[in-house]
Amino acid sequence: MVEGAKQATGLTVIIDVFRAFTVEAYLMNNGADKIIPVGDSEIAYNYKKEDPNIILVGERHGQIMPGFDYGNSPSQIENIDFNGKTIVHTTSAGTQGIANASNADVILTGSLVNAKAIANYIKQNNYNDISLVCMGLEAKSQTEEDNLCAYYIKSLLENKPMDLTEEIEKLKYTSGSKFFDVNQQDVFPEKDFFLSTEVDKFNFVLKLEKDEKNNIDYIKKIMM
């Protein structure tokens, strides 16, 4: 949540499984050149005004933002070619965590689809000060899927990997139940649940970098 992001130090993993950082993993896997995460939606709109080629991706309360190209749904973008594109991404939880992690030395995004790569990156770089920040529901309350991701990363760092099969099944009846609600399929399509819980699908980490020339923070893909 936001308070946790503000307190985070050292290497910080901002976790948002449903769905921000699952979406970012698919965007980068599909060729995006860079992702610029922002907290304030007005900043996103301003980017688009300055450069119409910018792709806007994001949501508030789960729903696509007015004037945006895509919502925060992995199933909506899983087969879209973003080769060479710059994405500006804003969400209710995940990108708020990045925006508020001002005391972190290094920021990685966290989701189940690349959790093992995250743990391997931390091990290979010998980080000792590690913060795992679960952004939860709209950055205000805890959610089972983000907590599960944090526990899984922790288990990998301790070389005691968890079997997530049973826990992921439980998510269908807790925080993931919205994806199985027939009345919410336009906002929370069922396929998003399965794409977001495909554990260790991608062997890369998403790291926040500073573009000194343009004075912007952007997400970079680092293969593991």
74/68 Cα distance (integer angstroms) = 15
Position 12 scores a pLDDT of: 98
List beta partners, residue 15. Answer: 110, 134
pLDDT tier for residue 215 given thresholds of 50, 70 and 90: confident
pTM of structure: 0.96
Domains detected in the chain: 2-223 (3.90.1560.10)
Strands 86-90 and 130-134: unpaired
Structure tokens at 224: 């593991």
pLDDT of 118: 98
Residue by residue, DSSP assigns 149-190 as: HHHHHHHHHTT-PPP-HHHHHHHTTTTTGGGG-GGGTTTS-H
pLDDT given for residue 108 in this prediction? 98
The tally of CA atoms less than 13 A away on the side-chain side of residue 216 is 15
First to last CA, the chain: 28
Helix (H, G, I), strand (E, B) or coil at 96: helix
pLDDT tops 90 at residue 57: yes
Q: Are 114 and 24 in contact (CB under 8 A)?
A: no
Over residues 75-86, mean pLDDT: 97
Q: What is the spatial distance between Cα 165 and Cα 197, in angstroms, rounded to a whole number?
A: 10
Name the pLDDT band for 70 (thresholds 50, 70, 90). Answer: very high
Sign of CA dihedral 109, 112, 114, 115: positive
**What is the percent of the chain with per-residue pLDDT over 70, rounded to a whole number?**
100
User: What's the pLDDT at 201?
Assistant: 98
Residue type, 218: Y
DSSP 8-class letter at 75:
H
The string of pLDDT tens digits covering residues 108-124 is 999 999 999 999 999 99
Question: For 164-211, how does the pLDDT look when each residue is reduced to its tens digit (9 = 90+)?
Answer: 999 999 999 999 999 999 999 999 999 999 999 999 999 999 999 998
Nearest CA among 102, 53, 58 for reference residue 76:
58
Query: Strands 55-60, 63-64: parallel, antiparallel or unpaired by DSSP?
Result: antiparallel
pLDDT at residue 52, rounded to an integer = 97
pLDDT of residue 174: 98
Structure tokens at 194: 């399965």
Q: Given pLDDT bands bounded at 50, 70 and 90, which one contains residue 214? A: confident
Q: Supply the pLDDT for residue 101.
A: 97
DSSP state of 69: S
144: which residues sit within 8 A by CB, 6+ positions away? 170, 171, 174, 175, 176
Residue 212: predicted pLDDT: 82
> Are the beta carbons of 115 and 198 closer than 8 angstroms?
no
